[in-house]
Amino acid sequence: MIKNKVVLVTGGAGFIGSNLCESLLNNNNIVKCLDNFATGKRENIEPFLVNPNFTLIEGDIRDLNTCKKAVDNVEIVLHQAALGSVPRSINDPITSNDVNINGFLNMLVAARDAKVKRFVYAASSSTYGDSVNLPKVEEVIGKPLSPYAITKYVNELYADVFYKTYGFESIGLRYFNVYGRRQDPNGAYAAVIPKFTQLLMNLESPTINGDGTNSRDFTYIENVIQMNHLAATTTNPEAIGSVFNTAVGERANLIEMTTLLKEYLKEYNPKVGTVEIIHGPERLGDIPHSLASIEKARRILGYEPSHNLKAGLKEAIEWYWGYFNDVR
């Protein structure tokens, strides 16, 4: 675990970022959070604002001076700030490119100049693109299927060049379909698990894109937190400048995932079991199947996922049940 360090979390008010901030504060770190609240939420970090070890910097990674201010006296950067979502990038590739590539480069330059010791960044499983190989192994990728995928791959290329050129220590984590507490169920680009959970709680039918056989390596937030801590603290030279799948190493299709959601939600409201599932058209830019090999992370970082899909969904649903009922 990261302990007694000064850590910057970019995108710290977002779903993953706020969970990282919480974990870092619980381990006696001084935490800086940089966020422009384009997608992050103030409510995610509200409990931390009274903590003397927490500082909020409201700003945009597209501004180099803001990045320089944020990394001042920082030892570790956990870079989560980005515009996620494949559909968003298809609808607006320019903004996705500006944030995800120009913003990323700003953070690399600022962190390098501030002599940050370790830069851990959120990469993406979308980098595997049209590769049909399963499971996905870090060294074998295909061509990107969306502007978002291009931006995340370019991040990896920049990080690699900064390591080889400047000796700047970075590690990329290719996230696979992360879900869990604080993930926003609302908006046009909401992730499938919180969106479906909210609909089913309201006894409304969720719509699966396609026939439901598309599969994903759904990854609970606790596994992602573990990987960030491991990547930030590893002393294994083989890890530096590399990228790692951040996943469970198991996959479920959308029908299986939705069936589990209904099963667990029935414990709170039996009527959920009667809700029908609707099927819509395939979504442009989607990868048909996704399954990660986590052997590299196991071997080099000592990673072992704490939650499979069933365990993760049970915890996530417990949190969402409380959250949705509180905001009603």
pLDDT at residue number 2: 97
pLDDT at residue number 327: 59
Q: How many domains does the chain fold into?
A: 1
Q: Per the domain annotation, does 101 fall within a domain?
A: yes
Q: Are strands 219-220 and 118-124 parallel, antiparallel or unpaired?
A: unpaired
Whether the Cβ atoms of residue 247 and residue 227 lie closer than 8 Å to each other:
no
Give 135's DSSP letter.
Answer: S
Catalytic residue among 121, 128, 148, 264: 148
pLDDT at residue number 244: 98
Q: Per the domain annotation, does 80 fall within a domain?
A: yes
Write out the residue range of the structural domain in which residue 100 sits: 6-179+221-249+293-308
**Where would I find the beta strands (DSSP E) of the chain?**
6-10, 30-35, 54-58, 76-79, 118-124, 170-175, 178-179, 207-209, 215-216, 219-220, 243-246, 252-253, 278-280
Whether the Cβ atoms of residue 151 and residue 103 lie closer than 8 Å to each other:
no
Is 148 labeled as catalytic in the residue annotation? yes
Q: Per the domain annotation, does 74 fall within a domain?
A: yes
Mean pLDDT of each 10-residue bin along the chain, 328 residues long: 98 98 98 97 97 98 98 98 92 97 98 98 95 95 95 98 98 97 83 93 93 94 98 98 98 95 96 94 80 98 98 95 76
Q: Which residues contact residue 118 at a Cβ distance below 8 angstroms, ignoring those fewer than 6 apart?
A: 75, 76, 77, 169, 170, 171, 231, 232, 233
pLDDT at residue number 323: 86
What's the CATH number where 105 sits?
3.40.50.720
* CA–CA gap between residue 273 and residue 20 (Å, rounded): 34
Tokens standing for 47?
């409990």
Contacts by 88-96, CB closer than 8 A, 24 or more apart: 88/148, 88/188, 88/189, 89/146, 89/147, 89/148, 89/149, 89/151, 89/285, 90/146, 90/147, 90/148, 90/284, 90/285, 93/147, 96/147, 96/148, 96/151
Give the alpha-carbon dihedral of 279, 285, 291, 293, to 10 degrees: -170
Q: pTM for the whole thing?
A: 0.95
Helical segments of 38-134, H only: 42-45, 64-70, 86-91, 93-97, 103-113
Q: Per the domain annotation, does 63 fall within a domain?
A: yes
Whether the Cβ atoms of residue 307 and residue 260 lie closer than 8 Å to each other:
no
Q: Per the domain annotation, does 215 fall within a domain?
A: no
Q: Per the domain annotation, does 192 fall within a domain?
A: no
Tokens standing for 183?
């993930």
